[in-house]
Chain A
Amino acid sequence: MSANELTQISVELDADGFLVNPDDWNRDIAIQLAAELGIELTDRHWQVIDFCRKDFKETGSVPTLRRITKVGGVPTKELYKLFPKGPAKKVAKVAGLSKPTGCI
C-alpha cells in the first residue's frame, strides 16, 4: 500500500488505485480520482456515483452495471460513455468503493 499524493489532498490508495479507507472519501477526492482517469465529472456522473454509494451502504456490495442500469436508472450504454473502458471498475474507484469482485 502506498500513499499517493494527489494535488491537494493526500489519501491512501491500494496498488490498483482504490481508496484503502472508504471513509476517506469526499466529493473533492472524487473529482481528483476522476481526473486521474481523465474524466471530468458532470451531473450525470454524480447521479451514478451517488447511486452507487447509497446502494453500497444498503446492500454491502458494489452494484453491477446491470444494477446501476435497472435500479439506478442510467442506461448501460451511457455508463460506457461516462466512464469509458471498464465502467464498473472506474465507477467503484471514483465513488470510493472497494474493487468489484465479479462474484466468482
Chain B
Amino acid sequence: MKKLLILGAGTAGTMVANKLYHTLDPDEWKITIVDQEETHYYQPGFLFIPFGIYGKTDVIKPKRNFIPAGVEMIVSTIEMIEPEANRVRIARDNRYLDYDYLVIATGTAPHPEETPGLEGDEWRKSIHDFYTIDGTMALAKHLRNWQGGRLAVNIVDLPYKCPVAPLEFIFLADWYFHEKGMRDKVELSLVTPLPGAFTKPRAAKLLGNTLEDKNINIVPDFYIERVDPAAKKLISYEEETVEYDLLVTIPVNMGAPVIGKSGLGDDLNFVPVDKHTFLSKQFDNIFALGDAANLPTSKAGSVAHFAVDIFTQNFPRYVEGLEMLEEFDGHANCYIESGFGKGILIDFNYDVEPLPGKFPLPGIGPFSLLQESEMNHWGKMMFRWMYWNILLKGKEMPITAKMSMAGKWA
C-alpha cells in the first residue's frame, strides 16, 4: 500500500482528499488527512458576520461531513514534519505518520503578535479583526453598540489571504452605518501599504473610484511599525501617524509555525513550490497547495480550487513516473461585495490583470467583470451553498481551472 498524507483539512486539503479518493485505486492507496480542528469554517462568511448578515451557524459544519468514509481522518495538531525520514509527528499519542507522498495544506493565519501594540489591553476592545471566528464574532458585538467615530481598516503587510476582503469590509461598513442612520457620524479610512486600493492597475483604479464615491478615505503607502493602543494611533516606519477610535486590523498573515519549525518554509513560513505544479522546491515527494504555498498569486479559496483541479490531474501521472501535463496559470476569481446589495467580479491570473467584460458561467451567468452589479452580489451569496455542497466535495464546478479570455475586453 502506498501512503498519501494530507496535512490540513481546510478548503484545499478537503478537496484533495475528495478528488484523489475517487481517482486513486483504493486497493493500492491509503489516504490520511490530519487537522487540529473538528470544525470546518467557511471563512468568506467571516466578512458578513460583523454586520449581522451571517451568524456563526451559517459558517460552521463538522469537517467529517466532507471527508470520504474511505479516507482516514485524524484530529490532532501536527507537531513536526521530518521530510528526510518521510514522516510526520502529531500531538495525539505522540504518533508518527509515515508517508510516500505528502500534501501540505495548512493554510495561513493572522499573527497580531508580530505587530507591537496590537494584542495588548485594547485587543477586542478598540482593536478588532475579522479573519478569525472569535474576532469576527467579537467585532459584530462591538459594532452593534458602537456610537460612531473614526474607523480605520489597516492592512499590516503583504501577502494576506483574500486581498479584496479589507475593501469589502469597508464597503459593507459604509452600507451598514448608512442603514443604521449614522453614516454621518463615522469616518472610514483604509490604511494600506499598497500604493492604491489594489495592486493590479485597472482594478486599483476602479476600486479607488468606488472608495471615493462612497466617501471612504485611503491612506496609501503606509507601512505600519506599531500601534499606540492608549493614544489610539497607528505609527508607520516613517513616523507618520493615523488616529482612530476603532481599529480593524488585518494582521500579518503567516503559514503554519510547524512549517517553519520543520525547515520547509520561507521567512513567512510559506512553502516554496514550483508555481505551475506545486511541487516542493526541496523534496520531490512533497506538494503544497492553497494558502500554505508561496505562489505569486492571491491567497484565496478560488485559487485553491483551481490549483487542486490541476494538481489532482497531475498527481496520478506523477506517481507513475510520467510528466505532469497540466500547468497552473495563477487563475483567481473573486466576487467583491461593494455594499447596497451589489458586487464586482474580477478574474485574473499570473499574467493577465483583471479586465472589464462579461464572465460567462454556464447555467448561471453571465456576470459583469470589473463593474458593479446586483447579479455579482447574488453570485457571492450563492457561493456559500456551492462551497458546502459542490466545491468541498470535489464535484465539478462549471468554471475552468485555467483562466479564459472569453468575454473579456482586452
Q: Does B223 contact A (CB under 8 A)?
A: yes
- Would you give the shortest CB distance from B242 to chain A, in whole angstroms? 16
Residue pair B238, A80 in contact (C-beta under 8 Å): yes
- Would you give the shortest CB distance from A89 to chain B, in whole angstroms? 9
For B200, the chain A residues whose CB sits under 8 A away are 104
Mark each residue of chain B from 129 to 159: 1 if its CB lies under 8 Å from any CB of chain A, else 0: 0000000000000000000000000000111
Q: Does B362 contact A (CB under 8 A)?
A: no
- Would you give the shortest CB distance from A30 to chain B, in whole angstroms? 23
Residue pair B237, A102 in contact (C-beta under 8 Å): no
Residue pair A101, B296 in contact (C-beta under 8 Å): yes
For B267, the chain A residues whose CB sits under 8 A away are 64, 66-67, 70-71
Residue pair B272, A59 in contact (C-beta under 8 Å): yes
**Nearest B residue to A75 by beta-carbon distance?**
B237
A95 to B225, CA, bound (A): 25
For A32, the chain B residues whose CB sits under 8 A away are none
Q: Does A84 contact B (CB under 8 A)?
A: yes
Residues of B157-192 at the interface with A, using a CB-CB cut-off of 8 Å, are: 157-159, 163
- Would you give the shortest CB distance from A15 to chain B, in whole angstroms? 12
Would you give 8 A-B contacts (Cβ < 8 Å), ordered by A? A76-B237, A79-B237, A80-B238, A102-B158, A103-B158, A103-B296, A103-B297, A104-B158
Q: Does B324 contact A (CB under 8 A)?
A: no
Residue pair A104, B272 in contact (C-beta under 8 Å): no
Decide yes or no: A61 and B158 within 8 Å by CB, A77-B225, A80-B238 being known contacts: no
A66 to B252, CA, bound (A): 11
**Nearest B residue to A69 by beta-carbon distance?**
B267
Q: Does B209 contact A (CB under 8 A)?
A: no
Mark each residue of chain B from 229 to 260: 1 if its CB lies under 8 Å from any CB of chain A, else 0: 00000000110000000000000000000000
Q: Does B206 contact A (CB under 8 A)?
A: no
For A102, the chain B residues whose CB sits under 8 A away are 158-159, 194, 199
Q: Does B302 contact A (CB under 8 A)?
A: no
- Would you give the shortest CB distance from A25 to chain B, in whole angstroms? 22
Residue pair B238, A84 in contact (C-beta under 8 Å): yes
Chain A contact-residue range equals: 10 to 19
Residue pair A77, B296 in contact (C-beta under 8 Å): no
**Nearest A residue to B275 by beta-carbon distance?**
A60
**Nearest A residue to B295 by beta-carbon distance?**
A103
Mark each residue of chain A from 5 to 29: 1 if its CB lies under 8 Å from any CB of chain B, else 0: 0000000000000000000000000
A37 to B102, CA, bound (A): 47
For B194, the chain A residues whose CB sits under 8 A away are 102
A65 to B157, CA, bound (A): 10
Q: Which residue of B157, B198, B199, B296 is within 8 Å of A61 (Cβ)? A: B296
Residue pair A104, B225 in contact (C-beta under 8 Å): no
Residue pair B298, A104 in contact (C-beta under 8 Å): yes
A64 to B294, CA, bound (A): 13
**Nearest A residue to B160 by beta-carbon distance?**
A104
Q: Which residue of A64, A70, A76, A79 is within 8 Å of B158 (Cβ)? A: A64
Q: Does A38 contact B (CB under 8 A)?
A: no
Residue pair B268, A101 in contact (C-beta under 8 Å): no
For B199, the chain A residues whose CB sits under 8 A away are 101-102, 104
Q: Does B82 contact A (CB under 8 A)?
A: no
For B221, the chain A residues whose CB sits under 8 A away are 85-86
For B157, the chain A residues whose CB sits under 8 A away are 64, 66
**Nearest B residue to A67 by beta-carbon distance?**
B267
- Would you give the shortest CB distance from B189 to chain A, in whole angstroms? 20
Residues of A32-84 at the interface with B, using a CB-CB cut-off of 8 Å, are: 59, 61, 64-67, 70-71, 76-77, 79-80, 84
A77 to B236, CA, bound (A): 9
For A61, the chain B residues whose CB sits under 8 A away are 296
A76 to B238, CA, bound (A): 10
For A101, the chain B residues whose CB sits under 8 A away are 199, 296
A64 to B297, CA, bound (A): 15
Q: Which residue, of A76, A79, A102, has the highest number of chain B Cβ atoms within 10 A?
A: A102
Decide yes or no: A85 and B238 within 8 Å by CB, A59-B272, A70-B267, A101-B296 being known contacts: yes
Q: Which residue of B195, B198, B223, B268 is within 8 Å of A104 (Cβ)? A: B198
Residues of B289-324 at the interface with A, using a CB-CB cut-off of 8 Å, are: 296-298
A104 to B298, CA, bound (A): 5
Mark each residue of chain B from 191 to 210: 1 if its CB lies under 8 Å from any CB of chain A, else 0: 00011001110000000000
- Would you give the shortest CB distance from B108 to chain A, in whole angstroms? 12
For B296, the chain A residues whose CB sits under 8 A away are 61, 101, 103
